[in-house]
């Protein structure tokens, strides 16, 4: 124990007085005025801190073996200082990459994907409503102006996607991974499209079905519980968006996913892929086991690839990239807004979760989400991960315009239509 305490004290010296510890014996280490105190109830959890195993330490917090006293924002200052190599991506060796691929193949059957999506998104609609915007848009917002609040920034993001796709009245629009319906309903209301959404979440499907009926849009908006691989429309769609779906596909299925995007859009049509990307090349990950924590507690089956790998696989499928935008800092700001909203409603959140599951499990889920939201905000802020919107066309050599004879699509090859604000 003395050697362990000595190792812990050396770690505390590099944290500029931000962190204090309370050991199982009651002994306190670190400054009395530290904004964050970790109260350890088991020695094993203390060893995880000493070894820099932050994913396991996060699991200790979720399981109640460690209590956090202080704000999540201050705790993330501690995490940033403890991440090995300052967050620099750590490249795996050959055998580790082969193991990743084997695990990816096992984790992404149709049945496993459905189970994994429901494990996250079917926690409780009311729980998500506590900290998301009123439209329940569960993806990176777009802060078009500095003073925007989250609700306005989510509408701005929805509209940015619609403008990038240059949606027109009557076009057939597909939303893969439609969530709580924000994008497809926005596109139907403001751009007059005929919209189809697909999801694997029972809760999301029920919520969106009710919204469609309430707004009287059943004649041109619909949502289905369906795996993207099983969608077989009578004819391809004019435009397609996939928002926050890409991260759930898995490396082993990425080629199938990209081939499916190509198959589902007509020649000359447009595809917008909005998804989280890794900052490290070749399956490199941030050290400390943070990804393992997300895998176990938040997104089972989630896998990230670098944007260069995404572009390569999309190109191999026959799609041509015409515009790519990195919205990474926007996602940091989005996640902090979600985290702050949840932190301000902790008693309500625990009560809502306790209606959907046993109270002890509700407390664990809440602790996991608190760490996840603040931790992901930190990761995007520190550029440990990124968020890319990739706009693509399915080339059609017969499609052109007078001034753009080589367009091969409906894309203008100018950006003015993207940044021209719509009247909503």
Residue 376: active-site member: yes
Q: Compute the distance between CA of residue 148 and CA of residue 145 in angstroms, rounded to an integer.
A: 6
Q: Token pair of 389, please?
A: 């919107």
Q: Which of 140, 162, 258, 376 is catalytic?
A: 376
Contacts by 137-141, CB closer than 8 A, 24 or more apart: 137/179, 137/180, 137/182, 137/183, 138/179, 138/180, 138/244, 139/179, 139/243, 139/244, 139/274, 140/274, 140/327, 140/330, 140/331, 140/334, 140/387, 141/330, 141/331, 141/333, 141/334, 141/337
- In the three-class reduction of DSSP (H, G, I as helix; E, B as strand; rest coil), residue 391 is classed as strand
User: Quick one: DSSP state of residue 246?
Assistant: G
Query: CA dist 331 to 106, 277, 303, 317, Å?
Result: 30, 12, 18, 28
Q: Compute the distance between CA of residue 200 and CA of residue 167 in angstroms, rounded to an integer.
A: 25
Cβ count near 126 (within 10 Å): 15
Numbers of helices and strands, H then E, in the chain: 17, 11
Contact call for residues 167 and 239 (beta carbons, < 8 A)? yes
Cβ neighbours for 313, distance < 8 A, ≥ 6 positions apart: 254, 255, 258
- Listed residue (401, 252, 265) closest to 320, CA to CA: 265
Q: Compute the distance between CA of residue 134 and CA of residue 341 in angstroms, rounded to an integer.
A: 12
| Residue 177, phi then psi, degrees to nearest 5 | 75, 60
The CA-based angle 263-267-268, given to 5 degrees, is 130
- In the three-class reduction of DSSP (H, G, I as helix; E, B as strand; rest coil), residue 354 is classed as helix
Annotated catalytic residues are 376
């Amino acid at each position: 124990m003395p050697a362990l305490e000595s190792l812990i004290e050396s770690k505390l010296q590099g944290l500029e007085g931000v962190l204090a510890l309370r050991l199982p014996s009651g002994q306190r280490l670190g400054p009395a005025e530290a904004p964050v105190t970790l109260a350890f109830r088991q020695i094993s959890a203390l060893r995880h801190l000493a070894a820099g195993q932050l994913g396991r330490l996060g699991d200790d917090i979720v399981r109640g073996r460690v209590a956090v006293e202080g704000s999540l924002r201050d705790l993330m200052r501690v995490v940033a200082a403890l991440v090995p190599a300052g967050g620099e991506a750590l490249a795996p060796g050959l055998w580790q990459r082969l193991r990743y691929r084997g695990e990816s193949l096992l984790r992404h059957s149709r049945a496993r994907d459905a189970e994994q999506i429901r494990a996250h998104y079917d926690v409780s609609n009311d729980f998500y409503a506590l900290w998301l915007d009123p439209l329940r848009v569960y993806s990176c917002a777009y802060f078009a102006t500095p003073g925007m609040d989250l609700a306005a920034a989510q509408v701005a993001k929805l509209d940015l996607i619609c403008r990038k796709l240059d949606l027109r009245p009557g076009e057939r629009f597909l939303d893969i991974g439609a969530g709580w319906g924000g994008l497809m309903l926005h596109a139907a209301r403001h751009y007059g499209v005929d919209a189809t959404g697909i999801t694997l979440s029972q809760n999301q499907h029920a919520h969106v079905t009710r919204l469609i009926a309430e707004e009287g849009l059943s004649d041109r908006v619909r949502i289905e519980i369906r795996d993207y691989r099983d969608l077989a429309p009578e004819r391809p769609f004019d435009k397609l968006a996939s928002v926050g779906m890409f991260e759930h596909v898995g490396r082993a299925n990425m080629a199938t996913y990209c081939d499916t995007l190509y198959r589902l859009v007509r020649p000359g049509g447009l595809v917008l892929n909005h998804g989280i990307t890794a900052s490290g090349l070749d399956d490199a990950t941030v050290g400390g086991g943070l990804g393992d924590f997300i895998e176990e507690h938040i997104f089972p089956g989630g896998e990230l690839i670098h944007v260069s790998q995404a572009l390569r696989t999309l190109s191999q499928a026959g799609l041509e990239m015409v515009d790519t935008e990195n919205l990474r800092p926007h996602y940091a700001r989005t996640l902090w807004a979600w985290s702050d909203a949840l932190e301000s409603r902790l008693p309500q959140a625990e009560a809502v979760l306790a209606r959907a599951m046993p109270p002890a499990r509700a407390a664990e889920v809440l602790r996991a989400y608190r760490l996840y939201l603040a931790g992901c905000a930190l990761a995007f802020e520190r550029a440990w991960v990124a968020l890319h919107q990739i706009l693509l066309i399915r080339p059609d050599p017969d499609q052109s315009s007078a001034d753009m004879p080589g367009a091969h699509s409906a894309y203008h090859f100018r950006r003015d239509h993207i940044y021209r604000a719509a009247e909503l």
